[in-house]
Structure 1
């Protein structure tokens, strides 16, 4: 299978940045944030060649894949995969928005 380009929506990018910044400040070190970023990149590398590994959400367009306590919501386009949300499951579900 051909690898698809991964693109991030501005909303998803902001969510990821907020999580990374939170752990950087909380831990007073970039170690965990960098480890988390590596794990995200590894998962997205797999996703780019296996786009259907996530389960379909109720809207039948968006897919979701779990990564520990995080959910990555994405949509498959013609030649790319768009990350539409990066959700920390420990947050209040009422705050969750997917695009």
Structure 2
């Protein structure tokens, strides 16, 4: 993820800050996996971190991060929604 955003944004500083925020959010999810709002499909959850939406699913022994989405874009354009 870090390499993708460094290449995309041409900014190490922003990309590292983004990674730090994502790590905080995923750490919070490890303690509170049902924190996110449940989506229309009844299984996928979403939390908002700054401008980004983190889509994930909770399993008995794991949390799967499905995607990160820039909240400024139309969420209906997500491929896996």
Give the TM-score taking structure 2 as reference length. Answer: 0.85
* Runs (5+) with no aligned partner, structure 2: none
SS at match of 2:79: coil
**Structure 1 unaligned regions, length at least 5:** 1-12
Alpha carbons of 1:40 and 1:58: their partners in 2 closer, same or farther (altered >3 Å)?
A: same
Number of equivalenced pairs: 81
| Alpha-carbon separation, structure 1, partners of 2:41 and 2:76 | 17
Runs ≥4 residues deviating over 2 A: 16-21, 90-95
Distance 1:20 1:86 in 2: 15
CA shift digits 1:22-61 (9 cap, x unpaired) = 22x2xxx301100110110011001111001100000000
1:17 Cα offset (Å) = 5.4
Q: 1:65 to 1:34 in 2, by over 3 A?
A: same
Distance 1:47 1:84, change over 3 A: same
Q: TM-score, normalised by structure 1?
A: 0.71
Query: Is contact 2:69-2:75 (8 Å) kept?
Result: no
Q: CA RMSD in A?
A: 2.0
